[in-house]
Chains A and B, each alone.
Chain A
């Protein structure tokens, strides 16, 4: 589904954020990307739907080359859902209108169809009663669930999560993770940047560990948590699993 081949990316002339990254995500697979801050994991996931351009290598998504100037990027992006650290709901639109906007403007769905689809998804994330509210009237956890519903409304073939729980209060993290676990169990293809090792342990098929722009470890979940090959990954794990 997602193929990342020898991807290199620089910020400016000298700072290399991604160094020869190669990995893939198969259909229905859940891959967790972890690593210390500044390791390039968020950048990598943003390259998948071309929010960030790459300078070397290539990325294909469901057979379509992402870094090809001839690719219809808006169309490609509409097929991949993305969830951000800071939710990024559109503050001037009511919850239901946040879910309708791209359905109508990008997919050309009729208003009543988009509304029906939106309401169904809000019900699924447990927020049907909040449809008429504005984002600022919801808690962080609720906003993030709306953001997931907004991405799902486009019927994506895969979902990208960029640290979806990092900006949340601890007590709100589980309500978001619950939604993500359900999604994973239904067979959604997911690439998740997160520090939630509990989530990784529960639903991930594979774990990718990044450090300084390199993919240091790319292993099946059991292998990663059991015996990480690299020192760096071992240290990282022992630090975050210590408590």
Chain B
């Protein structure tokens, strides 16, 4: 193989005039962080609502939860992003579609919402498992004290369910970050996107993707460490999962 390694490439100015190639990658990292955090918030909020719906005795509620989960988890993420980005504006009335297409930063918002909803199906299933793993008596005890269903979830069931599913939720957060790379297909220039443009401008493909790999690893390491601290912070003395 005839390849000229050049690790100094990161300190050379990039052709966009925005500083060095390293700056280029770091700006991609910032986009990755922003889109992932937003997607994760969307996933957590909507996934929690859907997860709770799936545990309610109401048929309608669990049917809505079922449809949401099956819709978002049974389609490839790539197809979902294409649907939101290319197909949805065409299905809407002309003016609404046009407005959507002309939104500034459309790839960013589409990616955040698309990845967020995709991940929400997974969060919902995790939370449902967490809630149903609690002893049935917990809900009965809370109900018997006079707490309403909303209060029972808010003060009794969810605080325990979220503690139980914290380790798998960490994996889902990491998946959200990794899945955000799919957004280059709808034109979002995040970390993977910037690595590719660095490769195209400089032809240093190995350096570009080595750097992207290291940055992803560092980012996920930060998340894992932060979640460890969170797990330790909310652990319950004497309780089995709270060692």
**What range describes how many residues of B lie at the interface?**
20 to 34
A170 within 8 A of B: no
A51 within 8 A of B: yes
Cβ of A121 to closest chain B Cβ, rounded Å: 14
The answer on a CB contact under 8 Å between A90 and B156 is yes
0/1 interface trace, chain B 125-150, chain A, CB 8 Å (1 if under)? 00000000001011011111111100
Closest to A84 in B: B137
0/1 interface trace, chain B 51-80, chain A, CB 8 Å (1 if under)? 000000000000000000000000000000
> Please, could you name 17 A-B residue pairs with CB atoms under 8 Å apart, sorted by A?
A76-B146, A85-B137, A88-B135, A90-B141, A90-B142, A91-B160, A92-B159, A105-B151, A107-B146, A134-B236, A134-B239, A136-B237, A136-B239, A136-B242, A137-B237, A150-B145, A154-B146
A82 within 8 A of B: yes
A69 within 8 A of B: no
A194 within 8 A of B: no
A137–B242 CA distance with the chains assembled, in angstroms = 12
* Residues of B bordering A, CB below 8 Å: 135, 137-138, 140-148, 151, 155-156, 159-160, 163, 236-240, 242
Q: Which of A49, A74, A89, A134 has the most CB of B within 10 A?
A: A74
The answer on a CB contact under 8 Å between A91 and B151 is no
Closest to B145 in A: A102
A76–B140 CA distance with the chains assembled, in angstroms = 14
0/1 interface trace, chain A 75-114, chain B, CB 8 Å (1 if under)? 1111110101110111110000000011001110000000
Smallest CB-CB A-B distances: 5 pairs: A78-B146, A136-B238, A88-B141, A102-B145, A106-B146
A85–B237 CA distance with the chains assembled, in angstroms = 23
A147–B138 CA distance with the chains assembled, in angstroms = 12
A203–B25 CA distance with the chains assembled, in angstroms = 78
Q: A88-B141, A136-B239 are in contact. List 14 more A-B contacts (CB 8 A).
A: A49-B144, A86-B135, A88-B138, A89-B141, A90-B155, A91-B239, A92-B159, A92-B239, A101-B145, A105-B155, A106-B146, A106-B147, A136-B236, A150-B145
A79–B144 CA distance with the chains assembled, in angstroms = 9
- Give the chain A neighbours of B159 by CB distance below 8 A: 92
Closest to A153 in B: B145
- Give the chain B neighbours of A147 by CB distance below 8 A: 141
- Give the chain B neighbours of A51 by CB distance below 8 A: 140, 143-144
- Give the chain A neighbours of B145 by CB distance below 8 A: 77-78, 82, 101-102, 106, 150-151, 154
